[in-house]
Amino acid sequence: MQSVVMAQKTPAPSRNGHKAHAPDPALGPGTRIMHAGVSRNETFHSLTPPIIQSAAYTFANTADLVAYKEQGDVLTRQEYGRYGNPTTRAVEARLAALEGGEDALLLSSGMAAITLPLLLLLQPGDHLIVGDDTYHRTRVFVNDFLHRYGVTATTAPAGNLAAIEAAIRPNTRLILAETPTNPFLRCVDLAGLAKIARPRGILTLIDSTFATPLNQQPLALGIDLVIHSVTKYLAGHNDLLAGTIIGSAEQIAELRQSHALFGSVIDPAQAYQINRGLQTLGLRVQRQNASGLAVARFLETHPKIGRVWYPGLASHPDHVVARQQMSGFGGVVSFEIAGDGPAASRFVDALRLARIAPSLGGVDTLVIQPAIMSYYENTPEARAALGISDELIRLALGIEDTADLIADLAQALEKI
């Protein structure tokens, strides 16, 4: 399995104007998480970046204000809470370092991280390509909303570079993909996608939520912008909403300026919680990677399971691509019960450790039937066209002991 190296670029300024600490690239992933993007000189000598709970920031005098207006850097000095916050900047520096980007922008939700760049980077008459297994709310925004602004879209099969290339038009401005995807965990060849897009001047935007920066580094493979639903693995405790966009300093500066107009800011107390969650990301992802692979192998051999989707399995259609660009395969396993929809519901209801809830990536194991949770409003025909059967289950593993999770699955399968 190829190990993806976390590329470190010039660190962004810290929350108090000092350069954020860039750890030795030879350090292991867990150590890098603890030290990447972290200032060595926090205010009041605090070990942890403090919560700066302020909507406005003062100036010593008129000359101080004029100097800021003429020469000020929004990354090191704030004026108003909608334009920035020191606690938020500390987290953005850490996120950028983890993903190997020059800068990051933290927003109020994962959907805000998706919609802001699309609204900013696309203009009337532009065309974009979106993967067919991308998060369904992303596809709703692309297909049902962006057309109001004269933007057209083509849906291409996930992971099929030939189909993506064939969908390119003279006015194609952006390619949006998710890898691994939700719920079938399809994987896009990121280096191959960049080779198609870059010579044509087409921007690439990758939702890497399911992978995390530990399992996959899209920027190092030539992708322009990476987004995460921070709500999931990065925050890791199912207790807040946030999103992030990571890329070059120039790209993020442009997005940051528009972000102040859209107002999708995050509260500094939530930014503090995200920073705390990031400190245990390595431990959590290591456990979830191990549990994901073990659970997928168990399910694939069980007689009451029809099919399993997990990129760590040789049976997954994108296993080769996943091995090339991922250092771990994540904690989400999707599978079909060998029965019908009611049997799948009985299985879900019989689980003792997994809770029915629509998120993933946190410390708790969560389970859903996508046909009921995410696609309930769709007709059976529409769900079938998307490959969403009534028997489909998505299991998002937490940090419980792997053996206990498998035992819970086994006893629930005995009851259908």
**Residue at token pair 């998120």:** 359
Q: Are 220 and 5 in contact (CB under 8 A)?
A: yes
What is the distance between the alpha carbons of residues 197 and 224, in angstroms, rounded to a whole number? 10
24 has catalytic annotation: no
- The catalytic residue among 19, 82, 198, 323 is 82
Check if 80 is active-site. Answer: no
Radius of gyration of the chain (CA): 22
Which listed residue (207, 224, 364, 390) is catalytic? 207
Q: Which of 32, 135, 310, 394 is catalytic?
A: 135
Rounded Cα distance between 329 and 289, Å, is: 6
Which amino acid, one-letter code, is at 203? L
Task: Tell me if residue 415 is catalytic.
Answer: no
Write down the catalytic residue from 77, 186, 232, 394: 232
Contact 233, 284 (CB under 8 A): yes
Record the tokens describing residue 213, joined without a space: 């920066």
Known catalytic membership, residue 232: yes
Q: Which residues are catalytic?
A: 82, 135, 207, 232
